[in-house]
Amino acid sequence: MSAILRLGGVSRTFGGIQAVSDMSFSVERGELAGLMGPNGAGKTTVFNLITGVYDVTSGDIEFDGRNINRLKTYEVISLGVARTFQNLRIFAGSSVLENVMTAAQQHHRYGFFEALSHMGRWGAMERATRAESMELLDRVGLSDRADQAAGTLPYGLQRRLEIARAISLRPSLLLLDEPAAGMNPEEVVKLNELIINIHGDFNLTILLIEHHMDMVMEICPHIVCMNFGAKIAEGSPEEIRNHPEVLKAYLGEED
């Protein structure tokens, strides 16, 4: 395997505050990897650096062999990176199907006048987008909710919708930001199953961030742990579970 994502000595400061410090790790193509750490460790800031929301203060980020330090968010997405957010960003007033179709439409191109007149390629492209979006909803268990307003879905299903919408962008790298946030234990179990299934079914590389150690340990063979903006450990679940710095970060245990 080769690394699809590589961070080398990445740092980010905000007005003198060091949010991320000398962060280095790689994610191999096809991996299901986890970036974990206590709340406030800097995990989401790392995602924001990868996706161009923030500029890197120092260091380098490479995606698929290309330096993406200075790219805008839409440019990073166009290269094949998609993400979900810790705080849900669905279109609450639109239907479940419309939420997915909005993202999927970027792969089905037609001209302005075709869209205006509903002529030319518009009909065929809309049918293709709808069919593709319905298939995605079926894969995440939401096809029976296609016509329901997204904002009326139970919280756990809204999370599934956001994942489906991200997959509809056809990424090669999917970033999941605290996907289990706000879920009860039963919902987390089902979410784990979903993540494992989409990882295999869609040939995706997935990097997820979580502060819940048990979830990351269960589904991620490769884990990076950070605290106070810096990497403190990296390895297998067993290595992470017994690492003194991880125990200290989570349990307050001293060396």
- Nearest CA among 89, 53, 36 for reference residue 210: 36
- Kindly report which listed range (80-89, 99-108, 204-213) carries the lowest average pLDDT score: 99-108
Whole-number pLDDT of residue 119: 53
Task: Report how far residue 68's alpha carbon sits from residue 49's, in angstroms, rounded to the nearest whole number.
Answer: 9
CA distances from 222 to 32, 33, 51, 236, 239 (A): 7, 5, 21, 5, 10
For 141-198, write each residue's pLDDT tens digit: 999 999 999 999 998 899 999 999 999 999 999 999 999 888 888 889 999 999 999 9
Pairing of strands 58-63, 3-14: antiparallel
CA distances from 87 to 55, 240, 244 (A): 21, 27, 31
The set of residues, in sequence order, having a beta carbon less than 8 Å from that of 185 and lying 6+ positions away, is none
> Of 3.40.50.300, 1.10.3720.10, 3.90.76.10, 3.40.50.620, which CATH number belongs to 3-80+171-251?
3.40.50.300
- CA dihedral sign, ordered 42, 80, 3, 198: positive
Whole-number pLDDT of residue 129: 87
Q: In what order do the strands lie in the sheet containing 66-67?
A: 17-28, 3-14, 58-63, 66-67
Q: Where are the domains of the chain?
A: 3-80+171-251, 91-154
- Average pLDDT (230-252) is 91
- The reported pTM is 0.88
**Which residue is it, tokens 């003194």?**
244
pLDDT band for 10, please (50, 70, 90 cuts).
very high
DSSP 206: E
Whole-number pLDDT of residue 171: 95
Whole-number pLDDT of residue 113: 45
Task: Report how far residue 43's alpha carbon sits from residue 228's, in angstroms, rounded to the nearest whole number.
Answer: 10
For 87-128, write each residue's pLDDT tens digit: 888 999 999 999 999 887 665 554 544 544 555 555 567 788
Instruction: Outline where the chain has alpha helix (H).
Output: 43-50, 73-79, 96-104, 112-117, 122-139, 155-167, 185-201, 213-219, 237-241, 244-251
The neighbour count for residue 218, using CB atoms within 10 Å, is 14
For 27-53, write each residue's pLDDT tens digit: 999 999 999 998 889 999 999 999 999
Higher-confidence residue of 254 and 173: namely 173
